[in-house]
Amino acid sequence: TTITTNTFYNNAVLTSLTISNNVTSIETCAINNCSSLMSIICTKPTPIKYATMMFGTLPNGAKIYVPKENVDAYKSIWADYAYAITAISE
């Protein structure tokens, strides 16, 4: 239920990650320095509590897909990544 600190640190082969409904927390720098990570899909209806730099620095063009009815909530809570947050297309 937790993606712990540095779980995916420096993983250069990870291109996509799905965060399912059963994830309740993402720790600081859990998904950090993943140079090929272009797609993060978060299916959880409400945003997971923000942890400092939980995604580190995302590569240019990377997107975080969230349920369309909660895009604004995610952008508010995950403000450092608001530029990358968009609705999951149906």
pLDDT on residue 90: 59
pLDDT per residue over 46-83, tens digit each?
Answer: 888 878 888 888 999 999 999 999 999 999 999 999 99
Q: Is 21 exposed, middle or buried (0-12, 13-18, 19+ CB in 10 A)?
A: exposed
pLDDT on residue 51: 82
pLDDT on residue 52: 81
Q: Is 90 exposed, middle or buried (0-12, 13-18, 19+ CB in 10 A)?
A: exposed
- Beta carbons of 48 and 67 less than 8 angstroms apart: no
pLDDT on residue 46: 85
Distance of CA 81 to the CA centre of its chain: 8
pLDDT on residue 47: 87
In sequence order, which residues have a C-beta less than 8 Å from that of residue 53 and are 6 or more positions away? Answer: 28, 29, 32, 80
Residue 74 is inside which H or E element, if any? Answer: helix 71-77
The rounded percent of the chain whose pLDDT value lies above 70 is: 99
pTM: 0.91
In sequence order, which residues have a C-beta less than 8 Å from that of residue 83 and are 6 or more positions away? Answer: none
> What rounded mean pLDDT belongs to the chain?
92
